[in-house]
Structure 1
Amino acid sequence: MSNTVYLVTGANRGIGLGLVITLAARPNTIVFAGARDPNAQSLKDLAAKHSNVHPIKFVANDPSNNAAAIAEIKKSAGQLDVIIANAGIAKSYGPLAKTPLEEYKEHWEVNTLGTVVLYQAAHELLLASPTGAPIFTYISTGAGSLARYMPMQNSPYGSSKAAANFLVKALDAENPSLIALAISPGWVATDMGNMGAVANGLPEAPVTIEDSVGGILSRIDGATKEKSSGRFWNFKATFGGNPWDIETEEVPW
């Protein structure tokens, strides 16, 4: 059986690291773990344990870096089958009227333009995947839904994710073979997620990394153009009755 080659960005901690850990344990899998610091101890330890894990330098919204990362993947593995675009930031909470413009710029540059830069660098190799059905997954957020607005006072983050969701629809429409999907990972107990939880009066975010990763991969595994692409998936339907719970398998755009 041939290998499936993954690129996971934002892979040195949180959801990204959880995805790499899970994928690394699968047979016939090669995982490129993209991180601003590929020498992070978490990735060094994982690569020492799993020979199929390859940390690479990845900087969101850096065209020359992204091109170099994809070139390294092509040279090393010869193919790229699945991209999980997980790198992102969420670090500003407060009312729109008092949020500095620089916060909007930084969130849009990383979360939105970073997605464009990554796809532009990777599309030729990704679309040449021998599977014939390459996958581009954007790790979005329920806070990016317009139809199901969450009053969390994080407009730089939510707006940047909503804009990137549009890009997923564009990728689906423009590429007959590409499976492009957005996935809300839930409100996850990562450094980033817990910061948001504290800002909203909670001690920590309610979803574990393990639960989120399992849900994300359940959407990617077996995804098809017909049933999966161009859609905004929930990591799983949640029924806790809280404002942040989304009770449906899909998140409304």
Structure 2
Amino acid sequence: MSAAGKIVYLVTGANRGIGYGLAGTLAARPDAIVFAGARDPAAQSLADLVAKHPNVHPIKFVANDQVNNEAAIAEIKSSTGQLDVIIANAGVAKYAGPIATTPLSEFKDHWEVNTLGTVVLFQAAQELLLASPTGAPIFAYISTAGASMARFFNLSAAPYTSSKTAANFLIKALDAENPKLIVFALSPGWVQTDMGNSGAAASGLAEAPVTVEDAVSGILSRVDGATKEKSSGRFWNFKAGTGPFDIPTDEVPW
């Protein structure tokens, strides 16, 4: 397919939740080609999205699988010859409890996907991404406000939050190491996804306070028009807010 005059996106974890919302919103743009990465690219949700938007291309993506990530990027290169924006959304959050009784396997599972998966994806994509004809390649990492050290909030989910904190460090390092790359972390808010609503239920709430639509809108407001000078190496809030669960600033403290 020709990518002339188009922006080529890769959104990982795109079969549901925030990733699905991002893929659908981007696909509505006439200048976008969207590769929707998912463990099951034949998922019904993605089939429905393709039926509405022929510029969406489901692609098999398994976080922290080097062979798979390299194959996925090779498929993008073969199809379009370019990659301009990665939104690294795929992640895992599946355990809550005090550190004293958390199985070590949970730490390993979360770090392998949320932290090492970021490295594997960047290493696989770097050559194609940095060659983006836009001259402004973007690698946006979907983090969590729970990863903030300066604004610590005890979620009793150390495997998840520590893995995201470590990935945030990688984002800072990637910014320093790559003068052409626009790379930053994003907090999407406490979103009404399976993951977010599960946490809300554990906290006695009916659902998480942020809709997927608001999270997607906020995330893309940070991605669109991002520059090395104003955006890179920073930890962005999807939007500043004044609600009881909101962060009132544009950036989340590291």
TM-score, normalising length from structure 2?
0.97
Q: What residue ranges of structure 2 are gaps of 5+ in the alignment?
A: none
Partner of 1:53: 56
Percent identical among aligned pairs is 75
Deviations 1:43-76 (A, max 9, x none): 0111122111000000000000000000000000
Counterpart of 1:239 in 2: which secondary structure? Answer: coil
**Aligned amino acid, residue 236 of structure 2:** W
Of the structure 1 ranges 136-145 and 147-156, higher mean CA displacement relative to structure 2 is found in: 147-156
1:100, distance to aligned residue in structure 2 (A):
1.0
Q: Distance in 2 between matches of 1:245 and 1:21?
A: 25
Spell out the pairing of 1:207-222 with structure 2 (5 A cutoff): 207-222=210-225
**Aligned amino acid, residue 112 of structure 2:** E
- Give the alignment partner of residue 38 of structure 2, picking from 35, 39, 45: 35
Q: Distance in 2 between matches of 1:25 and 1:235?
A: 20
Counterpart of 1:56 in 2: which secondary structure? Answer: strand
Deviations 1:202-226 (A, max 9, x none): 2211100000000000000000000
Q: Distance in 2 between matches of 1:35 and 1:52?
A: 16
Judge conservation of contact 1:93–1:199 (CA < 8 Å) in 2: no
Spell out the pairing of 1:118-133 with structure 2 (5 A cutoff): 118-133=121-136
1:201, distance to aligned residue in structure 2 (A):
2.0
Q: What residue ranges of structure 1 are gaps of 5+ in the alignment?
A: none
Q: Distance in 2 between matches of 1:100 and 1:196?
A: 19
Q: Distance in 1 between matches of 2:97 and 2:103?
A: 10
1:91, distance to aligned residue in structure 2 (A):
1.1
Counterpart of 2:200 in 1: which secondary structure? Answer: helix
Judge conservation of contact 1:168–1:181 (CA < 8 Å) in 2: yes
Partner of 2:251: 250
Partner of 1:68: 71
Q: Distance in 2 between matches of 1:99 and 1:17?
A: 31
Deviations 1:137-156 (A, max 9, x none): 00000000000011111111
**Equivalent residue pairs, number:** 251
Of the structure 1 ranges 78-87 and 193-202, higher mean CA displacement relative to structure 2 is found in: 193-202
Spell out the pairing of 1:2-151 with structure 2 (5 A cutoff): 2-151=5-154
Counterpart of 2:29 in 1: which secondary structure? Answer: coil
Spell out the pairing of 1:117-196 with structure 2 (5 A cutoff): 117-196=120-199
Query: What is the aligned-residue RMSD (CA, Å)?
Result: 0.8
Q: Distance in 2 between matches of 1:172 and 1:239?
A: 30
Q: Distance in 1 between matches of 2:104 and 2:201?
A: 23
- Structure 1: which 4+ aligned runs deviate by more than 3 Å? none
